[in-house]
Structure 1
């Protein structure tokens, strides 16, 4: 056997094994179909557009959070909670610089945030709807932007409430640990770390669900959206861990510090947007439940149909074939079933009389 034949045989065996694995494991087949769909809709280009607008929106959103918490609540604990969340979520974000600029940038961010945020929501909505094969810019221009602004405010409110609940739960557990085993005990520290991690997962899962449903204006069943949202949540944790390790390894290079913040943030947002669009592709290739486009109130994938009334075509009932050796007889004297529209029906008696006249005229056989 030649080398080419052996290579072809091995390739054929691998292909058959891969096909059997996809047939046996449904989740693997779903991942493959999601990847093919992501490539078909040009997800790489869509994620690049999302990254461009998200780069500006992240700084505006973070600065606005410091402005609100610093001037409205004016609590150091709340500022530390937001600073910790932003540092964990965006490893290369200079949180201290944003904190120092909150006193002078309040007016600027109040004007700039709606613009950068609207551009970001617009790019995300159009990209996710493109993955679903829907119209990317539905409805009127001004109404569409008004809804996008409402989505942006809802996401900000959702993030604020989630962080507040997370901070309150951790504070309550810290107080409980201090009253029981002591705040410095190893068991208390371990418990607080686990609780903080679980609460962070919950916040990210809630935001991921909102990005897959609220932003593109889709209604998905919980079973269909839970898997993709969990995929984004786990992927975000992996990105934060790998990104932190990568940037720590390059922190010793002086030239790295010149572009570390901007390039690191762009790379992180690019991978995050790829993850979001892949999760949207995973949801789009699923089969659980019915997905409804909230802009048209129609199920996704259902073709647009128009009811057209056409005249019915009357059916003709053929006489059964005569048995062999039986004498040929005329038409049966039973009434034929009424078919066709009401205006085309004729009484069975009139049809019988017509054929009787033909027989009396000497036809002797059926009319040709």
Structure 2
């Protein structure tokens, strides 16, 4: 008789540590629902949506320069002093043509940004819904989906702007300005304190943003408590990634090739890792959720249909003789009864 197989290292760790078992179940859910594929698609849509936003930014900058000729003259002088000859004049002419076309560039940029933004939020909601639900969510219709995506996009934009505003107060310069306004002298030990406070504020802000995404962007209502825990996990991972990315940029930007291609590659990696963290946190929250709709439903057992063929062989000899005797006795009794009635 063969002995039962001993559990492996991962099985023993999962049986001993509940948090490790949760991480493995979350990664299994993330992998089964093609989380890496969704993260790659979201990084593409994120980068694609940046170009119309840049057009809107150029248009807004053009409107500012058109109303401030002194600032425009200062920029012209700076270009002429930095780039001499025909190239400098070409740059100035290009800037002037961009300022003249600010209205058309802004309109095209806004329309393209709205279209790209709706595509981005639609795919993000689809990916988050896939991480949460095992059953397929029925679509309410194209128009209702787009209206819902528009509201989700506006809500995400508002939460993002609020988190950016809060983040600005967590940097060292605003904190130093507040201390100066309060009349508190700045010591060297306060630099470390400012750094710690800025990290804490960044984590809290990221927690708010990721919780909003995980809890409110799926197309069905999900648990806010488990979403907040998943958002905290994503916020901590996101802050660690930002610290590593800042070191990467400092090293890469030292070389000419790194200064040329480093920011582009950094943007692609940044968008991919961010989407990966958000989707994994959603899978982590889904595995912790007790909502019965998020659990797989076992199919009913297979119905076994076994047809039975019954062959009718007719009456046997004994049954035939018995029927004939009963028929003769009945006929005799009927004839006697008829004679008496006469």
Task: Using structure 1 for the length normalisation, give the TM-score.
Answer: 0.59
Number of positions where the alignment pairs a residue of Structure 1 with one of Structure 2: 255
Considering Cα pairs closer than 8 Å and 6+ residues apart, tell me whether 1 or 2 has the greater RCO: 2
Which residue matches 2:47?
A: 55
Q: Distance in 2 between matches of 1:70 and 1:164?
A: 24
Which one of the candidate residues 164, 175, 182 is aligned to 1:179?
A: 182
Question: Displacement of 1:284 after TM fit?
Answer: 1.8
Superposition pairs of residues 1-368 of structure 1, within 5 angstroms: 15-58=7-50, 60=52, 104=102, 106-132=106-132, 133-135=134-136, 138-167=139-168, 171=174, 174-182=177-185, 184-288=186-290, 290=291, 299-301=293-295
| Structure 1 residue 67: Cα displacement | 7.8
RMSD: 3.4
Shift of 1:28: 0.3
CA distance in 2: counterparts of 1:226 and 1:149, whole angstroms = 23
Give the drift of 1:136. 6.0
Give CA-to-partner distance per residue, 1:223-279, whole Å, 9 cap, x none. 311221112111111221222222332223333333323222112211221222211
Q: Which is greater in Rg?
A: 2
Q: 1:222 to 1:256 in 2, by over 3 A?
A: same
Contact 2:14 2:20 in 1 (8 A): yes
Aligned-pair CA distance for 1:161: 2.3
CA distance in structure 2 between the partners assigned to 1:47 and 1:209 by the alignment: 17
Greater share of helix: 2
SS state at 1:117 partner:
helix
On the 8 A contact 2:27/2:283 being kept in 1, the answer is yes
8 Å Cα contact 1:130/1:136 also seen in 2: no
Q: Quote the Cα distance in structure 2 between the aligned partners of 1:137 and 1:63.
A: 36
Q: In 2, distance between residues paired with 1:64 and 1:203? A: 26
Structure 1: distance between partners of 2:250 and 2:138: 41
Greater shift, 215-224 or 236-245, is seen at 215-224
- Structure 2: 5+ residue runs without aligned partners? 65-94, 298-342
Please state how far the C-alpha of 1:147 moved relative to its aligned partner. 1.0
> SS of the counterpart of 2:288?
coil
Displacement, 1:142? 1.4
Distance 1:262 1:191 in 2: 33
Query: How many Å apart are 1:119 and its aligned residue?
Result: 0.9
Contact 1:34 1:278 in 2 (8 A): yes
Greater CA drift, 166-175 or 191-200:
166-175
Spell out, residue by residue over 1:19-43, the C-alpha distance to the aligned partner (whole angstroms, 9 max, x if none): 2221121110010111111121122
